[in-house]
Amino acid sequence: MRFCPLVIKPLWARLTAAILLPVALVTLTLTPIFTSHVKERVDSSRQSAESLLASEYQLLLRSMNESFNQVLATAENPLLRRILPRQASAQTPTWGLAAQSDWEQLEALFDTLLTHFGRYTRLAVIDTLGREWVSTSTAPLLTRPPVTDHWTSPAFQGAMSLQPRDLYVSPPHLCVSGEEESPVATAIDIATPIVDDQGERLGVLLFTLDWSRLTATLPHAREDSPGEALLVDARGQWLLPSSDGSRERFGHSLTERWPAAWAAMSIRNQGIATLDDHLLAYRSHDLRTQHYRSQAGMILSDPDTQPWHLGILMTRPSLWRLLMENPVQLLAIALVYLLSVAFGVYWVLSNHRLRELRQRALTFSREARQYAGEVQDLYHYAPCGYHSLDSDGRVIKINRTELDWLGYRADEVIEKRHYRDFVTPETRAAFDAAFQKVLGEGQEGSAECELLCRDGTRLPVAIQGKAHVTEDGFQYSRATVFDLSERKALEARLEKQALTDPLTGLGNRRALKDQAAIEIARSERSRAPLSLIAIDLDHFKCINDTYGHDVGDLVLQAFAKLARQVLRDGDVLCRMGGEEFAVLLPDTNREQALQVAERLREAIATTPAKVGRDATEEGTLAYTASFGATLVCAGEATLKPAIKRADSGLYAAKEAGRNRVQWEEA
Ligand SMILES: Nc1nc2c(ncn2[C@@H]2O[C@H](COP(=O)(O)OP(=O)(O)OP(=O)(O)O)[C@@H](O)[C@H]2O)c(=O)[nH]1
């Protein structure tokens, strides 16, 4: 296993990483894009808020100035200068005192103002004593007269203290609207002194402005407006009239409800503040000092309420709002996340499968190498030889075992030697025949051969060859070579055992028969005489009976040893069974055979067998043997007739008293 510190092993951990990593990557990729998008939107919202504030401010100012100018212009109307002195001279309100035409003109003027502009709820002319002489109202509840006493009203008091063309402007306040649906309205009183041509103060002109009408035209009130207006006085009290959609109501305290907004607006005259979810563009306006845009000389107002603070509140763009405003975009992002996670999971799972397969392949390959090594070992160190030959009989592959047998190295043999070169000339024909069979249609062949090893030794082997044939025909032959040396040795041993008498180590009856065939053939070829002597130990039963069977065996062994010493190397001494023996004497005539028999008889008679002191006092036991001898006649294919004759001679020797040699003529 390669070392890799970043490899996370468990599948669940890799799956977690496969989910988190794509999410992180997509987030990292998208975040700068959306952040800059949000920033752009914030900047755009700021600009919108600022421009909306500017336009709203201008509109409010223009509307108010328009009213200011209308009040000032009306106050200078000659009708008022004519009507007021006449009314003032009357101790009680008397409508009939005014000239009918003046009154109608004034009424027409006031009606025009009321209906044409629509923003006034009441127009009143008040004399210096605070008595209202002329009044026109949108609320037709009040019948003329009564005369209202304005002596204590701030508007009257304020206006009376002013110079011509100066204005008193009250803060917005609640008043009776006269309408059933919304009996309470918000209004502003604008008052200015009425002065005659000589500068004498005649009274006060009072216009009550429907504050909601004035502010209804502001951009914030439009449904498609992106922002919301906010107008508070110097104490933070809400100045905009209550509307259905607005959360705030007239007179609410911004300082309590939204301290952050109030803090921003109250510190600076103008600016833009970033609140939690909102952007607030604001500026302050003091009626008393910013009157230059109207025709008013000076404006008097309640000092506690000035300046006003106007603000435009816009929802602050955020990433979430940006996403939520476009469902397609949101869906696309969700799809990107989903795809990236799906890809990650798929990658991990397929990688996991791949790892498994790789691991399995590694295991298989390791096992295959192991098996290949084992097969290689089995091939090279098998207890038999393996070799492959091409069609010419050249060695193309050979295992170690066979190389060790031959005593050569692989590089000395492979592609260099023909296999038949290692086969002994005597067995080469068998090998060639088998190899031809392998090359032939049978494609199989076997032979028992002898291999000629480097050290000169010969190794008997059995070779079993088989052709390896493909569609292209014969490729090579594969042969298994078995070492036969052990088998051969065993066979030889068994063969020897089969021909040997185990007690005396002499050849047995069968050995005599085999050897006789050879000697008879040789004698036929050489015309040399071949003699046979039959030997039988005398009174052997008596030895057995007297000294025991073991002593009898010792006597038999002593005889075999002694006979070997007496006989020539070429003589064939065999035990025929029991205490009977036979000697085949090649190239031996009658006289010679009789001499051999006599020499042997005498040696036996004079050489007691060693049987140990347990058996006899001297440790030896004298014994004798009788002999029957004969010639193997020319023309006798087997030894049988000669044995029969020798046995006859032997029988005669026994009959004659034992311990003697008797010749039997053919
Ligand atoms: N100890 C021993 N005794 C054997 C063996 N083979 C045969 N004999 C014994 O040899 C004896 C042969 O006895 P017989 O055939 O009567 O002949 P004999 O006693 O030698 O008498 P003659 O041949 O007439 O002299 C038997 O008692 C057999 O049991 C052997 O391998 N070992």
Distance of CA 656 from the midpoint of ligand 1 (Å):
19
Using alpha carbons, list the distances in angstroms from residue 596 to 520, 563, 566, 630. Answer: 19, 10, 8, 12
The minimum-distance atom of ligand 1 relative to the CA of 550 is 1
Q: Which CATH number covers residue 393?
A: 3.30.450.20
At position 208, the amino acid (one-letter code) is T
Q: What long-range pairs does 444-451 form, CB within 8 A, spacing at least 24?
A: 448/484, 449/423, 449/424, 450/423, 450/424, 450/426, 451/405, 451/406, 451/422, 451/423, 451/424, 451/481
Residue 494 counted as domain residue? no
The minimum-distance atom of ligand 1 relative to the CA of 578 is 6
- Determine if the peptide bond prior to 259 is cis (ω within 30°): no
Q: Which one is catalytic: 579, 580, 602, 618? A: 579
- At 295, the pLDDT band (50, 70, 90 cuts) reads confident
Q: Are residues 550 and 615 in the same domain?
A: yes
- Do 443 and 475 contact (CB within 8 A), yes or no? no
pTM over 0.80: no
d(CA 338, CA 319): 19
Distance of CA 346 from the midpoint of ligand 1 (Å):
101
The minimum-distance atom of ligand 1 relative to the CA of 537 is 20
Distance of CA 283 from the midpoint of ligand 1 (Å):
156
Q: What is the pLDDT of residues 123-157, one digit of tens each?
A: 888 888 888 777 776 554 444 445 677 888 889 99
| Closest residue CA from atom 4 of ligand 1 | 578
Q: Are residues 471 and 577 in the same domain?
A: no
Q: Are residues 550 and 647 in the same domain?
A: yes
| Closest residue CA from atom 12 of ligand 1 | 541
Residue 528 counted as domain residue? yes
Which H or E element spans position 126?
strand 120-127
Q: What is the pLDDT of residues 164-215, one digit of tens each?
A: 889 999 998 888 766 667 677 888 999 999 998 888 888 999 999 888 887 8
Q: Are residues 218 and 102 in the same domain?
A: yes
Residue 11 counted as domain residue? no
Give bridge partners of residue 661 from the DSSP assignment: 627
Least confident of 83-97, 227-241, 558-572: 83-97
| Closest residue CA from atom 18 of ligand 1 | 539
Q: Are residues 114 and 248 in the same domain?
A: yes
Distance of CA 493 from the midpoint of ligand 1 (Å):
29
Average pLDDT over every residue of 344-361: 91
Q: Are residues 469 and 517 in the same domain?
A: no
Residue 147 counted as domain residue? yes
d(CA 203, CA 82): 12
Distance of CA 185 from the midpoint of ligand 1 (Å):
166
Would you say residue 309 has pLDDT above 50? yes
Using alpha carbons, list the distances in angstroms from residue 458 to 423, 461, 549. Answer: 9, 9, 46
| Closest residue CA from atom 29 of ligand 1 | 541
Q: Specify the pLDDT at position 442.
A: 82
Distance of CA 541 from the midpoint of ligand 1 (Å):
4
Give the 3-state secondary structure of residue 240: coil
Which domain-ending residue is among 304, 320, 336? 320
Distance of CA 549 from the midpoint of ligand 1 (Å):
10
Select the more confidently predicted residue: 413 or 64. Answer: 413
Active site residue 579: yes
Average pLDDT over every residue of 22-26: 91
Give the 3-state secondary structure of residue 247: coil
Q: Specify the pLDDT at position 141.
A: 40
The three state secondary structure string of 635-658 is: CCCCCHHHHHHHHHHHHHHHHCCC
Give bridge partners of residue 127 from the DSSP assignment: 203
| Closest residue CA from atom 32 of ligand 1 | 553
At position 410, the amino acid (one-letter code) is A
ipTM of this predicted structure: 0.94
Which H or E element spans position 350?
helix 327-380
Indicate the top mutation candidate among 541, 551, 554 to test ligand 1's pocket, ranked by most ligand atoms within 8 A of CB: 541
The minimum-distance atom of ligand 1 relative to the CA of 536 is 23
Indicate the top mutation candidate among 501, 535, 540 to test ligand 1's pocket, ranked by most ligand atoms within 8 A of CB: 540
Compute φ and ψ for 286, nearest 5 degrees.
Answer: -110, 115
Distance of CA 552 from the midpoint of ligand 1 (Å):
8
Average predicted confidence (pLDDT) for the chain: 88
- At 244, the pLDDT band (50, 70, 90 cuts) reads low
Select the more confidently predicted residue: 211 or 2. Answer: 211
Q: Note the residue count of the chain.
A: 666
Q: Are residues 504 and 451 in the same domain?
A: no
The minimum-distance atom of ligand 1 relative to the CA of 552 is 1
Q: Specify the pLDDT at position 198.
A: 86
| Closest residue CA from atom 27 of ligand 1 | 541
- At 403, the pLDDT band (50, 70, 90 cuts) reads very high
Paired sense of beta strands 625-631 and 661-663, if any: parallel
The minimum-distance atom of ligand 1 relative to the CA of 658 is 25
Over the Cα atoms of the chain, what is R_g?
A: 75
- What is the CB-side half-sphere exposure of residue 338 using CA atoms within 13 A? 6
| Closest residue CA from atom 3 of ligand 1 | 552
Residue 356 counted as domain residue? no
- At 303, the pLDDT band (50, 70, 90 cuts) reads confident
Domain tally, the chain: 3
| Closest residue CA from atom 14 of ligand 1 | 541
d(CA 635, CA 645): 15
The three state secondary structure string of 281-302 is: EEEEECCCCCCCCCCCCCEEEC
Q: What residues make up the domain containing 219?
A: 44-320
The neighbour count for residue 250, using CB atoms within 10 Å, is 20
The minimum-distance atom of ligand 1 relative to the CA of 538 is 25
Q: Are residues 522 and 643 in the same domain?
A: yes
Q: Which CATH number covers residue 509?
A: 3.30.70.270
In the structure, which protein residues have their CB atom closer than 6 angstroms to any atom of ligand 1? 503, 536-542, 544, 549, 552-553, 556, 578-579, 654, 658
Q: What is the pLDDT of residues 636-658, one digit of tens each?
A: 999 999 999 999 999 999 999 99
Q: Are residues 479 and 509 in the same domain?
A: no
Distance of CA 596 from the midpoint of ligand 1 (Å):
24
The minimum-distance atom of ligand 1 relative to the CA of 549 is 1
Which among 49, 91, 350, 27 is positioned nearest to 219, based on CA atoms?
49
- At 462, the pLDDT band (50, 70, 90 cuts) reads very high
Would you say residue 353 has pLDDT above 60? yes
Would you say residue 227 has pLDDT above 70? yes
Q: Are residues 473 and 508 in the same domain?
A: no
The neighbour count for residue 429, using CB atoms within 10 Å, is 12
Residue 330 counted as domain residue? no
Q: Are residues 165 and 99 in the same domain?
A: yes
- Do 258 and 28 contact (CB within 8 A), yes or no? no
Distance of CA 517 from the midpoint of ligand 1 (Å):
28
Q: Are residues 141 and 232 in the same domain?
A: yes
Which H or E element spans position 459?
strand 458-470
Q: Specify the pLDDT at position 358.
A: 93
Q: Specify the pLDDT at position 94.
A: 55
| Closest residue CA from atom 5 of ligand 1 | 578
Using alpha carbons, list the distances in angstroms from residue 562 to 363, 543, 620, 621. Answer: 75, 18, 14, 14
- At 388, the pLDDT band (50, 70, 90 cuts) reads very high
Distance of CA 579 from the midpoint of ligand 1 (Å):
5
Distance of CA 5 from the midpoint of ligand 1 (Å):
97
| Closest residue CA from atom 15 of ligand 1 | 541
Which domain-ending residue is among 292, 320, 348? 320
Helix, strand, coil in percent for the chain, rounding step 5: 45, 25, 30
Q: Specify the pLDDT at position 9.
A: 67
| Closest residue CA from atom 16 of ligand 1 | 541
The minimum-distance atom of ligand 1 relative to the CA of 540 is 20
Residue 358 counted as domain residue? no
- Do 110 and 142 contact (CB within 8 A), yes or no? no
Distance of CA 508 from the midpoint of ligand 1 (Å):
17
The minimum-distance atom of ligand 1 relative to the CA of 544 is 1
Q: Specify the pLDDT at position 6.
A: 47
| Closest residue CA from atom 8 of ligand 1 | 578
Max intra-chain CA distance, the chain: 217
Which domain-ending residue is among 484, 515, 545? 484
Q: Six-digit token pair at 536? A: 């039988």
The neighbour count for residue 570, using CB atoms within 10 Å, is 11
Q: Specify the pLDDT at position 103.
A: 75
d(CA 172, CA 186): 6
Which among 69, 79, 73, 70 is positioned nearest to 133, based on CA atoms?
79
d(CA 8, CA 666): 108
Instruction: Assign residue 577 a region (left: φ > 0; alpha: ψ between -120 and 50; beta: otherwise).
Output: left
pLDDT above 90 covers a percentage of the chain that reads 53
Q: Specify the pLDDT at position 90.
A: 64
Using alpha carbons, list the distances in angstroms from residue 43 to 35, 50, 316, 317. Answer: 12, 10, 10, 9
Residue 325 counted as domain residue? no
Q: What angle do CA 237, 241, 246 make, to 5 degrees?
A: 90
Q: Specify the pLDDT at position 247.
A: 65
| Closest residue CA from atom 31 of ligand 1 | 578
Q: Six-digit token pair at 229? A: 């207006």
Which among 299, 171, 315 is positioned nearest to 238, based on CA atoms?
171
Instruction: Assign residue 62 a region (left: φ > 0; alpha: ψ between -120 and 50; beta: otherwise).
Output: alpha
